[in-house]
Every structure is written in structure tokens, then in C-alpha cells.
Amino acid sequence: MGQAQQTENAGEIDVKALQDMYKKFVTECPSGVLFLHEFKRFFGVDPTGEASDYAENMFRAFDSNGDNTIDFLEFVAALNLVFRGDMEHKLRWSFKVYDKDSNGYVDKDELRSIINSIYCVNKGTKPDTSQPHLTVDDAVERILKAVDTDGDGFINMEEFIKGAQQDPWVLSMLKLNVNPSLWVLEQRRKSAHF
């Protein structure tokens, strides 16, 4: 009993949320795996909407064995990393999302694509007034200037992690905050309206 309280206080996945995710996973994917189109539907992403590109990159990062599907173990492993992993592990996972072609570095186009997706996804949220709002291109240039230490126009994993750890603004831009519990709650809210 004390351990359950401890787990809940540690910021880990709530057992009820995990059960809800599993029920939704099994309902949506009786085959036991999620394909990209199911992944988008699972999280309520319009396949042609602004969040579609972002969702594809998230899918790729969740798909740890690269078989173009996500089984529940991959899903839970990714969630566990997001909730329990240390900052370096979270940044390594985020790097996989940014590195769209999985070639080991993030180029300016990949960076622009993800930053643009993040801006589109966050469009409806309250802006952070402590920082001036930057355009996508300004944000990309600022990140490259801060992170690309060798000036080659590409960010490797080491530069990505080191740069994020040295600059709080860069960290907030590069560290992808994924809260699947909120996704599940949003899905519940949407289904209650139908």
C-alpha cells in the first residue's frame, strides 16, 4: 500500500491511466500492434492535419525495433522512459523524433519540420510570455547556433544532449514533453461528446 502511494508521488504512470491505455490499445488494435494510421487515430490526430508529421515522428521513436508497428511493450517502454527516465534518456528519445531519416544527425530541415509541428500543435495553448515569440526559422537558427558546436550545419546526438543541458530555452525546445495520460483523458472527453 505504501509502495503504491510512493509510485504515484514519483510522477510515474498512474495504474488507472495505464489500464485505460491498455484497454484502448486492445480495443483499437486487436491484432496487438499499432500501425501508423492506427497510431494517429489512437491519439486523435487528423491524418492530414498539422500534427500529422509530428505524430509520424513520434511513431518512429516509439517503434524501437523498426518494424513499422508498435506493440504494447514498445508503447509501455516508451511511456516508462518518458515518465521515469533521466534527462539524458529523455533527450536521446527526443533526438530520435527529430532525426526523421534515422541517419544519426538532425539537419536544418528536420529541425525546422519538428519545430514547425510543435508550433502548430501548441497553437491553441497559452503562450509563454517570459520569452519573446520567435518564428520557426528564428527558433531553428537560435537552436543551431547554441547546439551545433562544430558548425557543420548538423546536430549529432552528443551536441543535441550537451546543448540542451547547457541552455534552458534550448532544453525546452528540444525535450519533447509527452504526456500520454493527457492523451487518454482527451480521448475520453472526445468520446463522451459523441
- Give pLDDT tens digits along the chain (194 positions): 333 333 334 445 567 777 777 887 788 788 889 889 888 877 777 777 667 777 888 888 888 898 999 998 888 777 777 667 788 888 888 898 889 888 999 999 999 988 887 777 666 544 454 455 789 999 999 999 999 999 999 999 999 999 999 999 898 888 765 554 454 455 445 545 54
Contacts by 116-125 with C-beta closer than 8 Å and gap 24+?
A: 117/50, 117/51, 117/53, 117/54, 117/57, 118/54, 118/173, 120/50, 120/51, 120/54, 121/50, 121/51, 121/54, 123/50
Bridge partners for 70 per DSSP: 34
131, three cell numbers: 520569452
Close Cβ partners of 7 (under 8 Å, ≥ 6 residues apart): 15
Residue 98 Cα distances to 23, 30, 35, 127, angstroms: 30, 30, 20, 23
Give the N- to C-terminal CA distance of the chain in Å, as an integer: 38
Q: Check if the beta carbon of residue 22 is closer than 8 Å to that of residue 185.
A: no
Other beta carbons within 10 Å of 136: 17
Q: Which amino acid is at 31?
A: S
Bridge partners for 154 per DSSP: 107
What is the CA 182 to chain-centroid distance, rounded?
13
137, three cell numbers: 526559422
Domain annotation for the chain: domains and CATH numbers: 2-84+179-185 (1.10.238.10), 87-174 (1.10.238.10)
